[in-house]
Amino acid sequence: MKKTYWCKSALLTDGWAKSVTIEVDNDGNISAIKIDQQPESFVKLDAVIPGVPNLHSHAHQRAMSGLGEKAGANKDSFWTWRVAMYHYLERIQPEDLYHIAKMLYLEMLKSGYTNVAEFQYLHHDRNGKAFDNRAEMTLQCQQAAVDVGIGFTALPVLYNHGGFGGQPPIEGQKRFLNNAEGFLEIVSSIQQKQVNNLNVSVGIAPHSLRAVTGDLLHEVLDALSANKPVTHIHIAEQLKEVSDCVSWSGRRPVEWLFENFNVDERWCLIHATHMTQEETRSLATSGAIAGLCPTTEANLGDGFFNMVQYGNERGHWGIGSDSHISISPVEELRWLEYGQRLLTNERNVLSEDTSPHTGQTLLTAALKGGASACDRAIGKIAVGKRADFTVLDSSHPRLYGREAEQLIDSWIFSGNENCVSHVFVGGDCNVADGHHKDELTISDNYRNTIDLLANR
């Protein structure tokens, strides 16, 4: 059904405009944009911005957010947190994941995210046996996204080893494991399921250089070369990961990846926290996306991304909520900037000469990089793009009296109350006045699932 929206103001590709009419065709794509031409029949909206892509999500971890904050007898790290995470996910069944993901995606929508890239690796049951449909768990997430109404990029995870150089997996990884044949079966199953759904796309995610060998990854990429899916990979997140990679190969992770694969704009390197200047330059000039998750990276003690040099090199990046200890594009963008302020003892570190407003600079970059990493026609209010947009309430006390660039600066840097009023995906209003039509049922089902997991 065709729809027409009149916006008090909207962030278009060439900047802010007032009195903007957005027309949406039957497929949910933007078919026309008009300025200062109020239509006869329309839905009136406030300040409209492109919906934010979330390029990195582990939905199952939403159920354990906050449970990794009890200190152990020894120094805690990413690796001690991972043990706790493995223990928790052992209990999660397909129906559990559906309700967990549905709650998560509802929260994402309400915060202003309109697409999620789901990096999913629970491919087997609790005993390590493949489900009848190997893609079962990713399809549960996809169905949750479709039912909630958020765009979805399926990223089934290729995982077959427990350490660099093809080391055997540990017990806690038994649910993740696939060879090339099993993994390609998963990809094919997901591709068949998403046919004709314009709000869904499919990529792949070799988990990390710890979890795949070069030969295995080449085999999978060669098999999928006709369509060349977007490829996401965790890399250089932790110092131990870097030192282990050097011990194995004599190369740092990003260095090894670039020497052995053609990394280009179809790749997304998640975290990439610990890079040399040369690695940073290689990533920036490759066209690949750096997938940054500042709240998770802080929570896990990963470290700071080399953002100043990466920005100077004109590198592309986007944001994700990863482990979901925070589900807010505002917090991810704010803490990306704040981290650099703490490192440099300066303010407005990531602003640009051509765009001095730090908030809008951050948002614009996250929209562009996130759209590329999610492999969808999103991230812009422009003809031919999906009608995925977020509406900010300019009457909210945090935003009142602000317009254009100041509106975005205030949204990102003035507190934690949610200023999102409406959210549209494919032209459909899935959040209205801050609420989703099914949120009470979704919340109840989530609580019931958490109770079941606690007693399992």
CA 301 to chain centre: 19
Rg (CA), the chain: 21
Residues 6 or more apart whose Cβ sits within 8 Å of residue 132: none
Q: What does each C-alpha distance from 280 to 207, 371, 391 come to in angstroms?
A: 20, 21, 35
- Which of 342, 268, 348 is closest to 311 using CA atoms? 348
In this structure, the dihedral spanned by the alpha carbons of residues 395, 399, 400 and 403, taken in order and rounded to 10 degrees, is -100
**What would the DSSP string read from start to end of 148-178?**
HT-EEEEEEEE---SBTTTBPPPGGGTTT--
CA quadruple 109, 114, 119, 125: dihedral sign: positive
27 is catalytic: no
- Contact assessment for residue 308 and residue 337, using Cβ atoms and an 8 Å cutoff: no
**Cα atoms in the Cβ-side hemisphere of radius 13 Å centred on 93:** 7
Annotated catalytic residue within 123, 234, 271, 422: 271
Active site (annotated) includes residue 271: yes
Beta strands in 126-230 (DSSP E): 151-158, 200-202, 205-206
Length of the chain: 456
One of 322, 375, 393, 409 is an active-site residue; which one? 322
For residue 314, CA distances in Å to 268, 336, 353 come to 15, 16, 13
Measured CA to CA, the distance from residue 89 to residue 95 in angstroms comes to: 13
Positions marked catalytic: 271, 322
